[in-house]
Amino acid sequence: MNPKRKKLFVAFALIAAAYYCGLWGAGHLLPKVAAQIPPTPFLMRQHVVALDGQNHPQITEDRVTAIRGDGMEVRLITRPSRPEAGVATLLIRPDGYVTAGFEGLAARMSAFLTRRKMEALQMRAVMAAAGCKLAHEKAAGEEQILGVPTRMLIAEQPGKRLINWRAPDFMCVDMKFAEETYKDGVWKTSLSVVPITFEAKTPPAELFDEARLAAMKEMKPSQLQALVYQSP
């Protein structure tokens, strides 16, 4: 396998996975979205920080998340350590049609979200009214992050806990996140998502430019995998 292509694919495979793994289910597609509460527009940049082989924290991803007032959402991710991979884009349209684009491979995948995935997105408005708390989480207070009120929620497992800081005023978006493990009598952070900037405004139109994605070759997951494993 071409090492460069392997790096490109591995770097961004997880970006689309959370949404895209459910796109191709047959018989459960939702071509139209029921009326929902319009979101408050915002533009947010975050860094993903993980531990390297020597347990030193390093920035592994630079993320930009933007939502327009009509519900269009885009996520742009780059890897500082792999500039050759370019930008990975996840564009989620109000009707549930999603495109995942991989600049380094000049390829894209598009399909409708499954009903379950779409309903999960729509539930964000309901969650906001209920304090952004999921059933398995416990509330741990409130905190202002970059001037935005957030609710701190903790989900505990044996030896591990996940902490989310969600913003009720912005459809319960995760402004901050930490994964901690219990070791030597203390909780230690193994992975975190840290907000760098947050602006409550209509995001720049160029972030939602579909022409860039349209220029990429449309592929099915199997075709993309074949591209990755091609010889140079």
pLDDT at 2: 52
Looking up residue 163, the CATH number of its domain turns out to be 2.50.20.10
Query: How would you write the chain as a 3-class SS string?
Result: CCHHHHHHHHHHHHHHHHHHCCCCCCCCECCCCCCCCCCCCEEEEEEEEEECCCCCEEEEEEEEEEECCCCCEEEEEECCCCHHHCCEEEEECCCCEEEEEEHHHCEEEEEECEHHHHHHHHHHHHHHHCCCCCCCCEEEEEEEECCEEEEEEEEEECCEEEEEEEEHHHCCEEEEEEEEEEECCEEEEEEEEEEEEEECCCCCHHHHCHHHHHCCEECCHHHHHHHHHCCC
| Domain that residue 104 falls in | 3-229
pLDDT at 19: 41
Domain count, the chain: 1
From the first residue on, what is the mean pLDDT of each consecutive set of 10 residues in the chain (232 residues)? 51 44 36 55 95 84 93 91 86 88 89 74 71 89 96 93 94 92 89 96 94 91 73 48
pLDDT at 37: 62
